[in-house]
Structure 1
């Protein structure tokens, strides 16, 4: 058997079994999500992502098989509760900080939700991954903030506004680009918390538009 013949099958097998480093995999995930934001889901191709990340398209196809599977994996790689670390000891201050944090990523998340809006209607797995990545963790973190407020005695457990606060805060982030043509930045969201969320919970009047 020649050296070329001997090396061929082993080389192919080794290539197929090779694994991407977590850093390289995240590069692919970041690239596909960024292209979706910029161009829309339908316009993104495996070939385009391969070109932008300087890899062969066979690498992407071997790892994820199809574009929907690739995008689902990319979304799930972002499944973190970015509001989970908020705990100031005060419900009002926790909600203000949640507004600041949400404002920092509202543009990128809203762009992604808008870009995937049509595609998720025909793909249940993609819709589930989108919700798991961008919606469920933040809603649960907000509910935890409210639970701590109840445990500290700042608000009664049966307050009628409690169940609506996560939808209220999440909704304004998504709605402002449609209503005002602008993203909900940190200053806007803190003002919203003070003018609408805190009064709804009976935590006092708004502190004014220039509150930190």
Structure 2
């Protein structure tokens, strides 16, 4: 019989959906909290069952394995951070993205550290992280750039345009690795003004402070 903590263990192929959306959200929240607290390797289906007072067999029947449950938790609790941003200018969009990152960075730092380390050892988890978090974020930033091209803010052949997503997402990861923390609004705003916008030929224009009324 496979160990309940094994990432490879699986449930019977038949799945029955008896968990309500509200209950699923409780389970997903518990999964991500446990990841932040102890890391991916220490996460077990038994631990999730204990934290949520859910039968372990129910978890296996519904999700089958630890990687599947983690991916479901990411899908179920997160939406693309930047997908709803459209301020009318690329500068405004990127600054709004910085504010969104700042609002979520407290919990995301520990979670991303836990998952990033585990993903290096687990190709299935790495693929899931790309499809759930990275690819949608890249697509959202690329759409910001495409809108800027359509508005005439930047030239369609600007060589820096294709690297905006890499710059913005890359600095998030780089700072967490180098300094042990996620970049906050102020840091990202300065990076956007000093590195991203100049490469695109857009004049730096920091957003007005909140509450300024301008």
**Above 0.5 in TM-score?**
yes
Matches of 1:175 and 1:136, distance apart in 2: 18
Pick which of 180-189 and 195-204 moved more.
Answer: 180-189
Pick which of 85-94 and 139-148 moved more.
Answer: 85-94
Matches of 2:107 and 2:172, distance apart in 1: 11
Matches of 1:179 and 1:124, distance apart in 2: 24
Residues 45 and 152 (structure 1), Cα distance of their counterparts in 2 relative to 1, 3 Å cut: same
Matches of 1:57 and 1:21, distance apart in 2: 16
Structure 1 residue 153 corresponds to structure 2 residue 155: no
Question: Which residue matches 2:129?
Answer: 130
Question: Which residue matches 2:67?
Answer: 68
Residue by residue, what CA displacement relative to the aligned partner does 1:65-92 show, whole Å, maximum 9, x if unpaired? 2212211222232452221211111111
Matches of 1:154 and 1:81, distance apart in 2: 24
Question: Which residue matches 2:28?
Answer: 29
Contact kept in structure 2, 1:75 and 1:129, CA below 8 Å: no
Q: How many residues end up aligned between the 2 structures?
A: 196
Pick which of 116-125 and 169-178 moved more.
Answer: 116-125
Contact kept in structure 1, 2:36 and 2:114, CA below 8 Å: yes
Q: 1:205 Cα shift? A: 3.8
Bigger Rg, which one: 1
Q: 1:53 Cα shift? A: 0.8
The answer for unaligned runs of 5 or more in structure 2 is 1-14
Question: Which residue matches 1:92?
Answer: 91
Pick which of 50-59 and 145-154 moved more.
Answer: 50-59
Q: 1:35 Cα shift? A: 0.7
Contact kept in structure 1, 2:25 and 2:77, CA below 8 Å: no
Alignment of 1:110-189 (within 5 A): 110-189=109-188
SS in 1 for 2:18: coil
Matches of 2:75 and 2:179, distance apart in 1: 30
Residues 78 and 133 (structure 1), Cα distance of their counterparts in 2 relative to 1, 3 Å cut: farther
RMSD over equivalenced CA pairs, Å: 2.1
Matches of 2:137 and 2:197, distance apart in 1: 18
SS in 2 for 1:117: helix
Residues 205 and 113 (structure 1), Cα distance of their counterparts in 2 relative to 1, 3 Å cut: same
Matches of 2:142 and 2:181, distance apart in 1: 27
